[in-house]
Amino acid sequence: MEKGPRKSFIDGELGVTASLSFGNIATKVSMLTTLLLSGCNIQSIPEGFFKHKHRLKILDLSANPIKNLADSIANLKNLTALLLRHCRSLEKVPSLSKLQVLKELNLEATNIKEVPWGMKNLLKLNYLNLNGIGDLHEIPDRALSKLSCLQDLIVGETLISGEDVGGLKKLEILKGRFYDLHNLNAYV
């Protein structure tokens, strides 16, 4: 069987700019398992872009001025890594509840106001980075408690519940702040 050409969209190497037309590449990326578009100055993604990308496992849109992600991201049921670090304009992430195999979620230095809906359903998640999110002051109760595979939790200045984190038996790295001494004791 003859294989098609491989292309890489890493760090703007292909000269991808804000005028990138996702319609033009939509059909060409339907078979990809990895899509790396970090630092490509992407400002928006059309709603239906992720609709037929069922094979996609790794999506890196880091360091782009994206404000919102398309709701069709929920169609990426095989996605294992969603990397959005340093998307400083990103204000909202759609529901992640259908991304049942997601293992890595990096929202570091975004501008989200709350944790994504459905995050508690990410039962295979082992890496979560919410560091450097200025308007995310706390993680709601029970948002972390079901993430039993979580090994790395990085929340920076965001307040966390000791009870929620205390139940995470596989946790190896914790970088964050507890509400108070009582919550720290609940964790320990």
- Per-residue pLDDT tens for 11-45? 444 333 333 455 555 556 678 899 999 999 999 98
- Domain layout of the chain by residue ranges: 1-188
Residue 142 has pLDDT above 60, yes or no: yes
The architecture CATH gives domain 1-188: Alpha-Beta Horseshoe (3.80)
CA 139 → CA 67, 124, 143, 165, distances in Å? 21, 19, 7, 11
- The conformational region for residue 16 under phi > 0 = left, psi -120 to 50 = alpha, else beta, is beta
Q: What is the mean pLDDT of residues 65-84?
A: 95
Question: Structure tokens of 129?
Answer: 């980075």
The Cα diameter of the chain in Å comes to 62
- Per-residue pLDDT tens for 91-127? 999 999 999 999 999 999 999 999 999 999 999 999 9
In this predicted structure, what is the pLDDT of residue 48? 86
Q: Is-contact 84 116, C-beta < 8 A? A: no
In this predicted structure, what is the pLDDT of residue 14? 37
Per-residue b/e over 71-107, b at no fewer than 16 CB within 10 Å? ebbbbbebbbbbbbbbbeebeebbebeebeebbbbbb
